[in-house]
Amino acid sequence: MADPMRIRAQVAGDKATVRVLMSHEMESGQRKDSAGKIVPAWFIQEVTATHNGKPVLTAEWGPAVSKNPFLQFVIKGAKAGDKIGVTWKDTKGDTRTDEATAS
Amino acid sequence: MQTRRETLKHSAIVAGLLATTGLFPQYALAAYNKTAFEAKSLAEVLKAIGAGAPVESKDVTIGGPDIAENGAVVPLTASTVLPGAKQMLILVEKNPAAMIAMFNLTDSVEANVATRAKMGQSSDVYAVVIMADGKVLFAKKEVKVTLGGCGG
């Protein structure tokens, strides 16, 4: 199982800026190892963000998103205490979900 | 005893197998738009997701550094001030596959996302916004990379 995500949701007015830092190798499938073999691609493909359990944003990613990906987005109509959840799924079928409280 | 010809044939088969195991099985996910993420150019990506011809718009903003010292981590932002954005794409023209990320927006989020991308070399980067009415708008910006982030 992958390491937990770091999620921070900061409320300003009625909007919450959510910053997510995921822990993932994001192997592009372009790199070669010391033996000259291509390192197989392994990256996060799908990301879903929820606000109090309701999906608000989904994303599809390619292998060109950086290692340990960063994602920032803004949720409208959010207030302190709201639950912000983020789920990702990678090319090996691994998934991870983490939740944070907006403040 | 193997002849040279047989050896060559075998290595070709093995190479083929490696390519298959190494590159393709992870694309088994149904919803994932594999074609779009393998496309080489903006036009091909838009075709793969079924969007129309793009129009450059000053209402769409692509944010990023003018010069990125490390191509492995290039912060990019895409945003628009227009209401009714449905999808946002971030693309890097000269990467092996142009599409970096595709965001499906809902009414509950602002059309403003940021992430970090790998860039192989200096290139134009694009933010593409697909509106609910089917219009496709884009903005582009050149990012110079001093150290590439792909290959190794």
Name the CA radius of gyration of chain B, rounded. 19
- SS3 (DSSP) at A39: coil
pLDDT attached to residue B20: 44
How many separate domains does chain B show? 1
Tell me whether residue B5 is in a domain.
Answer: no
Q: What is chain B's pLDDT, residue by residue, as a tens digit (152 residues)?
A: 566 666 656 665 555 555 444 443 333 334 677 788 877 788 888 888 887 888 888 889 999 899 988 888 999 999 999 888 888 999 898 888 888 899 999 988 999 999 999 888 888 999 999 888 888 998 989 999 887 655 54
> What ipTM score was computed for the predicted complex, to two decimals?
0.89
pLDDT attached to residue A93: 85
CA dist B87 and B105 (Å) reads 6
Asked if B100 and A67 come within 8 Å (Cβ–Cβ), the reply is: no
pLDDT attached to residue B30: 44
pLDDT per residue as tens digits for the range A49-66? 999 989 999 999 988 898
Tell me whether residue B68 is in a domain.
Answer: yes
Tell me whether residue B21 is in a domain.
Answer: no
Which 3-state string (H, E, C) describes chain B?
A: CCCHHHHHHHHHHHHHHHHHHHHCHHHHCCCCCHHHHHCCCHHHHHHHCCCCCEEECCCEEEECCCEECCCCCEEEEEEECCCCEEEEEEEECCCCCCEEEEEEECCCECCEEEEEECCCCCEEEEEEEEECCCCEEEEEEEEEECCCCCCC
pLDDT attached to residue B22: 42
Query: Containing domain of residue B46, as a range?
Result: 30-145
pLDDT attached to residue A51: 92
pLDDT attached to residue B25: 38
Which chain B residues touch A if contact means CB-CB below 8 Å?
Answer: 18, 21-23, 26-27, 29, 31-33, 37, 72-75, 77, 92, 95-97, 99-110, 112-120, 149-152
- Would you say residue A85 has pLDDT above 50? yes
Size of interface A-B (CB pairs under 8 A): 132
Tell me whether residue B85 is in a domain.
Answer: yes
Tell me whether residue B111 is in a domain.
Answer: yes
pLDDT attached to residue B113: 93
Distance from CA of B56 to the nearest CA of A (A): 23
Tell me whether residue B61 is in a domain.
Answer: yes
Domain ranges, ordered by start, for chain A: 6-101
Mean per-residue pLDDT for A75-85? 90
pTM metric for this prediction = 0.79
pLDDT attached to residue B11: 60
User: For position B61, which CATH number holds?
Assistant: 2.60.40.2470
Q: Which of B76, B81, B116 to mutate to test the interface with A (most CBs of A within 10 A)?
A: B116
A-chain CB neighbours of B114 within 8 Å are: 70-73
pLDDT attached to residue B29: 38
pLDDT attached to residue A49: 93
pLDDT per residue as tens digits for the range A9-56? 999 989 999 999 998 888 888 888 888 888 888 889 999 999 998 999
B-chain CB neighbours of A59 within 8 Å are: 101-104, 113
CATH number of A6-101: 2.60.40.10
Tell me whether residue B59 is in a domain.
Answer: yes
- Would you say residue A89 has pLDDT above 70? yes
* Nearest CA-CA partner of A29 in A20, A16, A42: A42
One-letter identity of residue A18: V
- Would you say residue A86 has pLDDT above 70? yes
